[in-house]
Amino acid sequence: MWIQTHHASLMSPGFLFASPETPQIQEDGFDEERLLLELGAICPGAPVLEVPFEALVDDELDFYLPEPAALSGRTWIYRGWMPTLEEYQRLEVWFAERDASLLVSSEEFERAHYLPEALEANPALRRFCPETKYTEEADRDLAFELAGTFSGEIFLKDHVKSAKPEMATYDARTRSRTLFDQACDVLEAARGERFERGYVLRAYADLLAPDGDVDLSGDGVDEARVFVVGGKAVAAYAYRSRPGIGEGLLASRFETWREELRELLSLDSPFFTLDIAQKPNGELVVLDVGDGGVSTIPAGSDPRPVLNALYAAAEFRG
């Protein structure tokens, strides 16, 4: 679908949205962003494209997107579900063949989307992260060896995602290969064909819940998702807050700790996110790093700080 909003400049940056056609258990806020853009309530003049995520995966964009003349000369901002690097590279080439570009290149996408790449690109991240080790490929033998270097409970993810809500956990003190394989099975079953690259092993850390107590369940952490555009932390949103526990105090205090993130903003990507929590002693912890284009703004939140910053960044880059 192609929507040209009112008073659009011929070369104004555009937004490309890609969500699955099939209903999903977990909703995202992309539809709210798209509607606000289409109405001209944010970034008036920005053209908006919408395609099924399946079209991106199956390389069928020609059936859904407009003629090259409508795309040419623009910088496009991707907002949607998670493609693999190969799928994103195809998307980048598809636009390049039509004399258009993506705000985030495939190299920049890889650097933020795959946690090991982010840790290598900015070593300062390691000082803010729980202990993290990884394998380059899905090598269970090597992953089990790495698990033996931890001293407590860990959880497993691939280079991109974990197995939520069925968290793949393992207590390294057991030294049990059977239990470790069971955790790997949970992860691989949850990720299926979208399993990315190798295993990432991460230590658990004591983190605060929104009510100020230490979270012991693992699902009530006071977590803030920080959006970084053009090297600046432009907004933070409460992420995974639960009714009855709190509504994201960490995010509401963003201005008081924004400066602490300064050395984490150099990832050489124009758009990425940091998922932040807090230890009982007040130290900030980076729980995850992600490409900004695939990172959701929680439904019901105000996306204007992020979308306006993206539009300005795309204008500058274009």
Q: What is d(CA 235, CA 218) in angstroms, rounded to the nearest whole number?
A: 25
- In a domain, residue 9? The reply is yes
Nearest to 48 by CA among 115, 100, 2: 2
Which of residues 141 and 20 earns the better pLDDT score? 141
Collapsing DSSP to helix, strand or coil, 237 comes out as strand
Q: Residue 32 is encoded by which pair of tokens?
A: 């709210």
Instruction: Give yes or no for a contact between 229 and 292, defined as CB atoms under 8 angstroms apart.
Output: yes
| Residue among 202, 240, 204, 207 nearest 224 (CA) | 240
3-class DSSP assignment, residue 203: strand
| Residue from 207, 200, 213 nearest 286 by CA | 207
List the structure tokens of 189.
């079953």
State which of 203, 218, 246 marks the end of a domain: 203
Query: Is the pLDDT confidence value at 198 over 60?
Result: yes
Question: Is residue 84 predicted with pLDDT exceeding 80?
Answer: yes
Mean pLDDT, range 149-171, rounded to an integer = 88
Are β-strands 132-134 and 232-239 bridged in parallel, bridged antiparallel, or unpaired?
Answer: unpaired
Same domain, residue pair 81 and 116: no
DSSP letter at 185 equals H
Q: Are 249 and 185 members of one domain? A: no
Tokens representing 242 are 């639960």
**Lowest mean pLDDT: which of 145-159, 160-174, 240-254, 297-311?**
240-254
- 221 with 213: CB under 8 angstroms? no
Mean pLDDT, rounded, of the chain: 88
Bridge partners (DSSP) of residue 238 are: 224
7 and 89 co-located in one domain: yes
Which residue from 72, 81, 13, 21 is spatially nearest to 48, judged by alpha carbons? Answer: 13
Domain end position, chosen among 183, 203, 223: 203
What is the pLDDT at residue 244? 41
Q: How confident is the model at residue 241 (pLDDT cuts 50, 70, 90)?
A: very low
Q: Is the pLDDT of residue 3 over 60?
A: no
38 and 85 assigned to the same domain: yes
Clarify whether residues 35 and 96 are in a common domain.
Answer: yes
Domain count, the chain: 3
Same structural domain for residues 26 and 97? Answer: yes
**What is the rounded distance in angstroms from the CA atom of residue 8 to the CA atom of residue 13?**
9
State which residues form the domain around 291.
112-127+205-299
- Is residue 231 one of the residues assigned to a domain? yes
Query: Are 51 and 68 in a shared domain?
Result: yes
Q: Are residues 182 and 33 in the same domain?
A: no
- % of the chain surpassing 70 pLDDT: 88
> What's the predicted TM-score (pTM) here?
0.91
User: Which amino acid, residue 263?
Assistant: E
